[in-house]
Amino acid sequence: MPKISQHLGFTFKRGETFVKVDVQVDDIDTELPFKEQIDGVNDYLDDLFKAVRDKIDRQIESIIEELDEA
């Protein structure tokens, strides 16, 4: 039962802020159907991405508000 891992990362600029996103999935069993193993991960990653994006958007809005008040 050989197992593999996959890592994906990228960095981008959002406004004046740099954002780094890394995702790693470990222990993918090469002898089991891939779709069954990854389906739960996909749902989780969608929720995680939305939460991180929303958090960053709120932080950027806060910074913009502070600059406007100055």
Residue 54's pLDDT is 92
Contact 8, 16 (CB under 8 A): no
C-alpha 11/C-alpha 38 separation (Å) is: 24
Q: Give tens-digit pLDDT for 20-64.
A: 888 898 999 999 998 988 887 888 888 988 998 898 889 888 988
Quote the pTM value.
0.54
Contact 5, 26 (CB under 8 A): yes
